[in-house]
Amino acid sequence: MELTGDEGLDGLKRLNHSLKVNILFAVITVSLIAAVLLVNGILLRLSQRSHLQLDLTAGSLYEIGDDTRALLASLQSPVSIYVLSDEGGFSGSQYLTQVKRIIDQYPRYSGLVSLEYVDYAVNPMIALRFPDLPLSHGDLIVQSGENVRHLAGANLFHYAVSPEGSFTIVASRAEEALTSAIVNVISSETVKIALLTGNGASGGSLFAAILVDNNYEVESVALATAVLDGYDAAMLLSPTIDLSEDVVRKLEAFLYNGGLYGKTLFYTAGAAQGALPNLDMFLSEWGVGFTDGAVFETFPGRTFQYQPFYPMAMFSEGKYTDMLRDPSMPFLMPVSRPMELLFTARGGYYIDTLLYFSDTAGVRPADAGEDFTAEQSPRKGPIPALVVSGFHATAHDGTVLRSVIVFSSSGGIFETVALQNSSLNNTEYLLNLMGDLTDRDDIVNILPKSLSGRTLGISSAQSSTLGVILVGLIPAAILLAGVAVWLLRRYK
C-alpha cells in the first residue's frame, strides 16, 4: 500500500512529535534523577554538620534539651568527647541507640565540640593519653584543656532491681551525665561539700553522686575528726546518736567562718532519731525544733501510693518554686519527724518556710498504741517540712553576710524512691536550692529519660478517680449507648 504525499507528511510529523516527546520525557527523567541525587548529597553533607532528624517521641527522648543547647552555644573553649567504643557498639538495645543519638548531637550544636569514637579493644593508645583513669570499654572521656572528666558507661543509665534480683535499665541519663561533664571541664568554679559521717548519720550516696555530676566536689568527712575549713557546705543527714559538744562547736565555727559567714549546713531529721539533746540545743538557736513521732497525711491525694507516712509536701510561694519547670509535680517527704518553728525572726536570724505539710496532715506520737486514729493526733497541719534559717550580719563596708541551715523533716528525700522518680520534683528542687545557697550560676538540671513509658504522675486520689472512670463510668456509658442504639433500631 502506497502513501500519498499528504499521508507521508502526516506520518513524518507524528514520528517527529513522538520523538520529541520521548526526548523530553528522557530529559525530565534524567533531570529528576539528578535532582534527587543532588538533594540527597546536599542533605547527607548537611546531616554531618547539622541536626536534621525529627524526634516525634513524647518528651523528645532522642533530642538534647534547651539547657544543653544553650550551654553548647555559649562555649568559648574547645571540648573533646572520646567514646571508648566503635559506633556499632551502640546497638541491640533501645537505650544504647538513644545514648548514641544523644552523644552524636553535641558536635552538631557547637563547632567547638569534637567527637571521636575509639575502639578501645583495637586501639588502646587512648589509655596512654589518660594513664590515671580506670578506663573500660563503653566509657566516655570529656576534656577541655587540662580538665578531664571520666564517665563510666554504666553511669549513663538509671537502674532498678527486678523481683528476680537482677538489675534492669529504667532510664537514660546520657544527656544529664554528658552535659554535667562539659560544665565540669569548662568551669573554673568549684564548690566543695562535706558529707558528714558517723553518729549514725545516713550516707546520702545517691544525692552525693548527683551533686558530683553537677560539678560539685563532695567528700565524706567523719564528724569525730572533722576539719571543715575549705568547705562551702556540709550535709548532716539524720544522725541517730547525739553529737558531742566538741562537734557542735565545730559546726558553730564552720557557720561563723571567722566572721565572714557564707556557709551552708544541710540538716535532715527522721522519725527514728529519738532524743539528741546537744544537737537539739544547737538547732534551737537557729529557731527550729523537732518533736518525737511521725507526720502522716489523711488526704489520699497527697500521699505516695496510699501510704500515709509518705506524704507529699506543699510548695510555698517563692523563687525556688518559680525555678521549677513543672511546679505541679509533688515533693515527697517520707517518714518525716515533726518540725516546729521557735521563732521566725530574732536577733539576726530569719526563717523562711519552703515546704509544708497540708492542713489535713497530723502527727502520730512515738508512744502511740496500735489503736491510734487520726482524730487522736496531738497536732494538725499545716506543719513546716523544709525551712531555711539564716543568720545575717553586716560587714564594715555595709555588705550583708549570711550563713544558713536548711532543715528538712525527712532524710527520705534523698532515697532512691524520691530522687529517681521522674514524676517527683525532689531532685530538681534540691539542686536548685543547693545551687542558690552556694552561689552557683552554672547549674544545668537535666531530667533522666525513660523509654519504657513515662510514669503517671498522679496522686492516690486521682488514681482512684481514674479507676472509677475507666472501670465503671466509661463501660457503663458504652453499654447504655449500645442499648439506646438497639432500642432505636428496634422500634424505628
My answer on whether 123 and 201 are in the same domain is: no
CA distance 406 to 414: 14
Confidence band, pLDDT 50/70/90 cuts, at residue 6: low
User: Is residue 201 within 8 Å of 126, Cβ to Cβ?
Assistant: no
My answer on whether 96 and 238 are in the same domain is: no
CA distance 9 to 329: 85
My answer on whether 132 and 218 are in the same domain is: no
Q: Give me the pLDDT at residue 132, please.
A: 83
In this structure, of 3-7, 217-221, 417-421, the range with the lowest mean pLDDT score is 3-7
436: cell is 542558690
State which residues form the domain around 90: 66-156
Any idea which residue has 550580719 for its cell? 393
My answer on whether 332 and 196 are in the same domain is: yes
My answer on whether 298 and 372 are in the same domain is: yes
Q: Give me the pLDDT at residue 377, please.
A: 92
Any idea which residue has 503517671 for its cell? 456
φ, ψ of residue 310 in degrees (nearest 5): -115, 65
Any idea which residue has 532498678 for its cell? 160
Tell whether the model's pLDDT for residue 55 goes beyond 50.
no
Query: Which CATH number fits the domain that encloses residue 106?
Result: 3.40.30.10
My answer on whether 144 and 201 are in the same domain is: no
Q: Give me the pLDDT at residue 398, please.
A: 83
CA distance 267 to 8: 105
Tell whether the model's pLDDT for residue 147 goes beyond 50.
yes
3-state secondary structure of 361: strand
Per residue in 319-343, pLDDT tens?
899 988 888 999 999 999 999 999 9
CA distance 74 to 446: 17
In a domain, 252, yes or no: yes
My answer on whether 149 and 202 are in the same domain is: no
My answer on whether 214 and 74 are in the same domain is: no
Last residue of a domain, one of 156, 179, 204: 156
Q: In sequence order, what DSSP letters do the residues of 166-228 get, joined into one string?
A: -EEEEEE-HHHHHHHHHHHHH----EEEEEEE-TT----HHHHHHHHHTTEEEEEEESTT---
CA distance 143 to 113: 10
Q: Among 10-14, 43-47, 453-457, name the most confident range.
A: 10-14
My answer on whether 195 and 342 are in the same domain is: yes
My answer on whether 263 and 369 are in the same domain is: yes
In a domain, 34, yes or no: no
In a domain, 414, yes or no: yes
Last residue of a domain, one of 437, 466, 485: 437
φ, ψ of residue 78 in degrees (nearest 5): -65, 145
In a domain, 13, yes or no: no
Q: Give me the pLDDT at residue 161, please.
A: 63
User: Is residue 68 within 8 Å of 175, Cβ to Cβ?
Assistant: yes
Query: Which CATH number fits the domain that encloses residue 354?
Result: 3.40.50.880
3-state secondary structure of 136: coil
In a domain, 9, yes or no: no
My answer on whether 133 and 206 are in the same domain is: no
In a domain, 458, yes or no: no
Q: How many CB atoms lie within 10 A of CB 292?
A: 15
In a domain, 401, yes or no: yes
Q: Give me the pLDDT at residue 288, please.
A: 96
Task: Quote the number of domains for the chain.
Answer: 2
In a domain, 302, yes or no: yes
Per residue in 348-390, pLDDT tens?
999 999 999 999 999 999 998 888 999 999 999 899 999 999 9
CA distance 237 to 232: 17
Confidence band, pLDDT 50/70/90 cuts, at residue 56: very low
Residues 6+ apart with CB under 8 A from 92: none
My answer on whether 348 and 218 are in the same domain is: yes
State the pTM of this model. Answer: 0.71
CA distance 111 to 107: 6
